[in-house]
Amino acid sequence: MPLLFGTATFNESEHLTIGGCDTVTLAEKYGTPLFIYDVAHIRERARGFKQTLNSLGVKNKVIYASKAFCCLAMYKLLEEEELGCDVVSAGEIYTAIKAGMSPENIEFHGNNKTKEELLYAVEQGVGTIIIDNFYEIELLSAILKEKNQKQHVLFRITPGINAETHDYILTGQVDSKFGFDVNSGQATQALERILADDHLVLKGVHCHIGSQIFSAEGFLAAVEKMLTILNEWKQAFGYSVDVLNMGGGFGVQYTEADDPLEPEAFVKAIVNSVKGQCALLDYAFPEIWLEPGRSIIAEAGTTIYTVGSEKVIPEVRHYVSVDGGMGDNIRPALYGAKYDGFLANRISNEQQSPKTIVGKYCESGDVLIKDIELPTLRPEDLFAVTSTGAYGYSMANNYNRNLKPAVVFVEDGHEKLAIRRETYEDLISLDCE
Ligand SMILES: *Cc1c(COP(=O)(O)O)cnc(C)c1O
């Protein structure tokens, strides 16, 4: 049995269904490649963070990291689930606001926000700007002074912890392009500079220790480090934070090999750790903000491809090509990401053998899944790649002038087109003759 997420199952016709919708029918209607998002699964994951924090009686914000996947329909869904969003460009701010997201619930991140972007954020009333560096302090301060406006800000600290998947390293993250370094005293310098500013209203601090993290240890180490610093600042400057933002990076399952904690377990571990540290240091318990991206959206997404050509090199490899690839999912080519996949239009009990699923792009590195056990795949078969919801469509591109796929949201037997498929006209719409 393949690894199925959320509402995914097979119906009597042996077709993969998601959200009560037949994926074969959806593929016929919208074409392939096709992204299908299981809305119930997105809601469940969002509630795993939000309701757990609420149930622990913690003042909180759950702020979805837009970069994992965003569009108007996604932002609407976030509003329904009472999540805010984090954005890293004016384009994401624009989309969120167009979708009706309250600007107050938007948090602006990035290591090189431009003057224009900061101005746009201030003018749109973006709730929180997370200051990343000294240049940004001056840029933002000047904009606010000019407009005679105040702005809620956090500032980003690199606590010197690098967590990836199973383990964390205590010093690795010092070498990062993001945030203020603690050890060299830059974070303290930033604190003093921001506190002295008439227009920057400092609400607290932020850290983000990595991505696709499976266990709580890295977060617990980060909490301890952050509170140690915060307590030093309380002693030295009499300053205590209102907000402690612990970032995102909560892991998801791509293949059988992945075994991450559930959102609830991450939340409980982090909150307990903050409570413990605060009690120990006699520090006032702050609001807890979290920024899950991947863990909200990854497993909810499935990509359906149509199978085309194959090439069998005896004793070497069996290639099967599909009609998408690195244009709709660049992660395998970019950093060797692993995925699982299976037939979506029929169940086969045939003998399985290793096949390598490749895309149609003109790059040898355009491999979606290497040597996966599969039955015979025939042209016109539909092939599902699961857990493609994060950093798939959001990193999609038009390499080889292929069209970006459509995105469909499904829930309770209903489908909703969230992003239409590109057309050839779209492709040349920016070209000048
Ligand atoms: C990317 C990012 C996130 C989300 O990371 P995920 O791994 O998708 O959860 C959250 N916060 C910041 C600052 C980020 O850069």
pLDDT along the chain (433 residues), means of 10: 93 98 98 98 98 98 98 98 98 98 98 98 98 98 98 95 73 78 95 98 96 95 97 98 98 96 98 98 98 98 98 97 98 96 96 97 97 97 98 98 98 98 98 96
Ligand 1 atom 15: residue of nearest CA: 208
- Here the tokens at position 168 are 């964390």
| Domain 9-31+300-428 architecture | Beta Barrel (2.40)
The residue to which tokens 């979708």 are assigned: 99
Pocket test of ligand 1: the residue of 67, 112, 131, 254 to mutate, having most ligand atoms within 8 Å of its CB, is: 67
Q: Report the alpha-carbon distance of residue 7 to residue 19 in Å, rounded.
A: 5
193 is in an annotated binding site: no
Residue whose CA is at the smallest distance from ligand 1 atom 3: 248
What is the pLDDT at residue 164?
A: 73
Cα-to-centroid distance, 378 and ligand 1 (Å):
39
pLDDT, residue 325, reads: 98
Q: Helix, strand, or coil here: 413?
A: coil
Closest CA to 386 of 326, 331, 304: 304
Tokens of 308: 């085309």
Rounded distance from Cα 320 to ligand 1 centre (Å): 33
Ligand 1 pocket, 303 CB below 6 A? no
* CATH superfamily name and code, 39-297: Alanine racemase (3.20.20.10)
Amino acid at 42: I
Whether ligand 1 lies within 6 angstroms of the CB of 263 is answered as no
Question: Which residues participate in catalysis according to the annotation?
Answer: 362
Question: Do the two domains 9-31+300-428 and 39-297 of this chain adopt the same fold?
Answer: no
Q: Where are the domains positioned within the chain?
A: 9-31+300-428, 39-297
The pLDDT of residue 168: 72
Alpha-carbon distances, residue 160 vs 26, 164, 204, 313, 392 (angstroms): 47, 13, 18, 48, 29
Q: Is 250 in the pocket of ligand 1 (CB under 6 A)?
A: yes
pLDDT at 163: 81
What is the 254 CA–ligand 1 centroid distance (Å)? 17
Give the ligand 1 atom nearest the CA of 250. Answer: 9
DSSP 284: P
Please tell me the distance from the alpha carbon of residue 292 to that of residue 120, in angstroms, as a whole number: 25
